[in-house]
Chains A and B, each alone.
Chain A
Amino acid sequence: MLDLGALSNCFSNSACLVTQSATGVIIGMLLFLVASGVTLIFGVLHVVNFAHGAFYMIGAYVAYSTYGVTGNYYVAVLVGTIAAAIVGVLFERSAISRVYKENLLMQLLVCYAFVLICDDAVKIIWGSEYLAMGVPDEFRVRPWRIAGGVVPPFYLFLAGTALMVAVLSLILIRYSRFGKIVRAAAANPTMVSVLGIRVPIYFATLFGLGCGLAGMAGALAAPVRSLTPGMGLSILIESFIVTVIGGMGSIPGALLAALLLGFTRAFGSLGFPLFVDGAMFLMMVVILVFRPQGLLGERAGR
C-alpha cells in the first residue's frame, strides 16, 4: 500500500518532480476556483452553499452547448460562467434569500432540493449520457518539456486563468466599494439598508459571483472532463475539504489548501495510491480537531 521508494525516486528525478508538481498546481488551481466560490459565499453571507457543485455542472454544460454553436472555447467559457452566475442570482432571490435567517438545516435542505432539480433538468435538456466536448484545436499541441518534465499548455492556461480570476474576485471583495458594502451589509443589514443601499441586490450579486466562479471552473475543465448529470458532487466534496482546511471564509486559505490537496493527489498517487482520498479526509479531520478555524481562518470555532 505504501510505496515510499517511488516517492523518493520521484524527488530525486527532476523530470518526475516537475511533472508531478505541475500536476499538483493544475489540480489545485481548478479546485481553488470552485472552492473560492464556496468560501466567498460563506465568508460574507454565512451560508454554506451545498448546491455549489450544481453550478459547476451548469457552467460545463452551457459551455458545451455554446462551443457546439460557436466553436469558440473562450466564448464558451464566458457564456458558461455567466449562465452559472445568472442561475445563482435566481436561486438566491427565489430560495436562499428566504432562509438566510433560518438554521443550517433549512439552508442545506434548500440547496439539496436545488441540486436534485438541476441534475434532473440537465438530464432532460442534455440527456443522461456522458458528453465529451474535446480539447479546442489551438490547444492540441505537443506538451511542453520543462527540465524533462511534461506540462500540457492547456492545463497551464487553466491554472493561470483560475488563479487570476480568483485573485481578482478576492481583490473585488477586499478593496472595492462593492466588496465593502456587501461585507458591511452582511454584518449589519439594517444599518446598511438605512443608508439607502438595496441590500438584497448586493447579496444576490455576491451569491451570483460565487456561483459564477464554480461555473467558470466547470466551463474551463469541460474539454477534458466527460460531462454527466451529477458531475458536481465529487468536486463539491473536494471543495468542502479545501474550504475547511483553508479556513471557512478565507480565500488565501482556500488557495493554500487547494494546492495542498493538489500536491497530495499528485505525489500521493505515487506513494500511497490507494489512500489518496483517505489522506485528504484525514487532513480534514486533523485540521478540524486541532485547528477548527482552518489554516488561515480568522474566527475560532468553539
Chain B
Amino acid sequence: MKTTKQNGLSRRDFMVAAGAAGVTTLASPTVLRAAGSPIKIGMPTILSGRVAILGETASVGAKMAVDAFNAAGGIDGRMVELVIRDSKGKPDEAAKVTRDLLSSDGCAFILNGEASGGTFAVHEVVRDTKTYCMHTISETSSLTADPANRAPWVFRSARQGIHDAISGGLYAANLAKAGATRWATCSPDYAYGRSTTSEFMEFLAVFAPEVKLVGETWPKIFQPDYTENITNLLNVAPDALYSCLWGGDLVAFFDQASLYGLFDQFQTVAVNMGDVPVLEAIKNLPGGIHSGNRYHKDIPDVEANENWNTEFRKSGQLPTNWAWQTYTGAQFVLNALKDTGGDTDYQKLADATRGRTIDSPFGVNGTVTMREADNTLVDYAIGYGQTVPQPPYLTGFEPTAWDVIVDYETDWKKRNSFL
C-alpha cells in the first residue's frame, strides 16, 4: 500500500549543487575563467510537481556520466561540474532558469533535462545566445526534424516521436487487423502531445488504412481531474485508445479511469507506460496495456545494459527513459569536451558532436549515433510490448528495425517538406 520512493540523498545533492551555483551568483561569474576552475554545465529539469520523479532520474543519469568522467581525470585534470535547476515544467520558468544558468551561474553550455514544453523555450534561449546545447528529453519530432527550428549547435539525445510513431504504427496495425478499427485518443494538450498523437495516427493509417479516428480528448498538462475526459471516452466507446500522457499525469489518469472500468472495454496503447516507476505508482494497473519500451534492463539484452542498470540503482532510484537519455546526452557532451580540450566554444563543441557514434548500453548494436543530417539520436533500442504489473514489466517485446524506421521517416519528412 505504501507508495512511491523517497530519496533524501538525491535531494540533498540538488541543494548542494544549487548552493554552489548561488555562491557564484554573488561572486559574479565572468571572473571565473581561470584554468583549473571546473567547467560548468547547466541543466534545467523538472524537480517539482507531477513529473519530478523523472527529472530526478534524469539528474542521476547526468551525474553518473559526469562523475565517471571526472573520476577518469576529467580534461587533463580539469573537472566538469553540473549545475541542476528546477524549471517546474513551465516554459517561461525553463527559459528564465536557462538564462540564469548561463549569465548568473557561469555555465558554459546547457544539458537540457526539460520536457517538450520547456524544451522549446530552452531552445529559443540557446539559439538566441548561441549556446551549445544537448536536449535530452524532448521527443517532439519537429524540434530537430523541422529545418525552421534547427540550429547547428543544438542536438537531441532523446527518442524522437516519429520513430516511436513508426514503431507504434506497425505494432498497432496488428491490433487493427485483429478488429480494433475504431480508435480514440487522449493525450496532453501541448506540443508534444499533439504532434506525437497525430504522428502515431498518421502511421497507423499508413499501416492499417481501415482504422478510423472516432474521438479525441485533450486534457491539459498536469490537469488534476480527468473525469470529463474519461466519460467522454466512455461515450465514444472505441475499440482502442491511444494516449501519450506521461509521468504523474499518466498515473492519475489510470487511477481515475480504472474507477470507470475504462480499460476493460477496449485495448489501450500508452506509449509512455513502460517505465518502472510509473508502473509501480499505478495502483490499479490493468494488465495488457500496450506500451513502447522506455527504459528496460533487458532491452537490449546485453551485459553493458545490465551493468548500467545495477550502477544506476545504487543511487536509490529506478532508471527511467529520461535517465538513459540524459546519460547518453552527457556522454556526447563530455566526449566533445574532451576533443576540444576543454574549449567551450559553441561551434567547436558542435563540430565535435555532429555525426558522432559512441559506445552505448542502449544501442541496438552496442552503439548510438548523433545523426549528422539533423542532429538527433538514432540506433537506440526501440519497439513495443505489453505491460504487466510485476517484473519483467514489459513482455512480448517486438523491436523495430532501424532501416524500416529510417525509410518511413524519410517519406514522412518529404511529406512535410522538411527535406
Contact = CB atoms under 8 A, between A and B. Distances in A.
B1 A225 contact: no
A280 B97 CA distance: 32
B119 to A, nearest CB: 20
A228 B49 contact: yes
Interface in A126-144: 127-135, 139-140, 142-143
B234 A134 contact: no
Question: What is the interface residue range for chain B against chain A?
Answer: 35 or more
A10 interface: yes
Given A67-B1, A130-B248, A274-B218, 8 more contacts: A27-B228, A130-B4, A133-B283, A134-B1, A135-B255, A150-B231, A234-B224, A269-B231
A283 to B, nearest CB: 16
A129 B56 contact: yes
Interface of A: 10, 13, 15-16, 19-20, 23, 26-27, 67-68, 71, 123, 127-135, 139-140, 142-143, 150, 152, 154-155, 223-226, 228-231, 234-235, 265-266, 268-270, 273-274, 276
Given A150-B234, A152-B260, A228-B248, A134 B255 contact: yes
A229 B229 CA distance: 24
A226 B235 contact: no
Contact of A225 (B3, B4, B7, B225): B225
Contact of B259 (A13, A19, A143): A143
A196 B95 CA distance: 59
B251 A143 contact: no
A142 B284 contact: no
Interface in B30-50: 47-50
B227 interface: yes
B255 A228 contact: no
B228 A128 contact: no
Nearest to B218: A273
A127 B5 CA distance: 10
Nearest to B250: A226
Interface string B208-248: 00000000011000001101110110110000000000011
A225 B252 contact: yes
Closest 8 CB pairs between A and B?
Answer: A134-B283, A130-B248, A269-B228, A152-B259, A128-B48, A129-B52, A226-B252, A16-B235
B154 interface: no
A71 B1 contact: yes
Interface in B1-58: 1-7, 11, 47-53, 56
A129 B53 contact: yes
B251 A130 contact: yes
A10 B232 CA distance: 10
B49 A230 contact: yes
A274 to B, nearest CB: 7
Interface of B: 1-7, 11, 47-53, 56, 86, 189, 217-218, 224-225, 227-229, 231-232, 234-235, 247-249, 251-252, 255-256, 258-261, 281-284
A280 to B, nearest CB: 12
B235 A132 contact: no
Nearest to B224: A225
Nearest to A145: B261
Contact of B231 (A23, A130, A224): A23
B72 to A, nearest CB: 32
Contact of A129 (B4, B218, B259, B282): B4
B252 A154 contact: no
Nearest to B8: A127
A130 B52 contact: yes
B304 to A, nearest CB: 29
22 contacts: A13-B235, A16-B235, A123-B48, A127-B11, A129-B52, A130-B49, A130-B251, A130-B252, A132-B251, A132-B281, A133-B3, A134-B3, A140-B258, A143-B260, A155-B259, A224-B256, A226-B248, A226-B255, A228-B48, A228-B49, A265-B228, A273-B232
B338 to A, nearest CB: 34
Nearest to A127: B6
Contact of B4 (A131, A142, A152, A223): A131
Given A68-B2, A130-B50, A135-B284, A20 B231 contact: yes
B49 A27 contact: no
Contacts of A266: 227-228, 231
A20 B51 CA distance: 29
Nearest to A152: B259
Given A26-B227, A266-B228, A229 B48 contact: yes
A109 B284 CA distance: 42
Contacts of A223: 255
Given A15-B235, A225-B225, A132 B282 contact: yes
A10 B228 CA distance: 13
B49 A135 contact: no
B4 A132 contact: yes
Contacts of B86: 128
A53 B143 CA distance: 37
A231 B50 CA distance: 10
Contacts of B50: 130, 226, 228
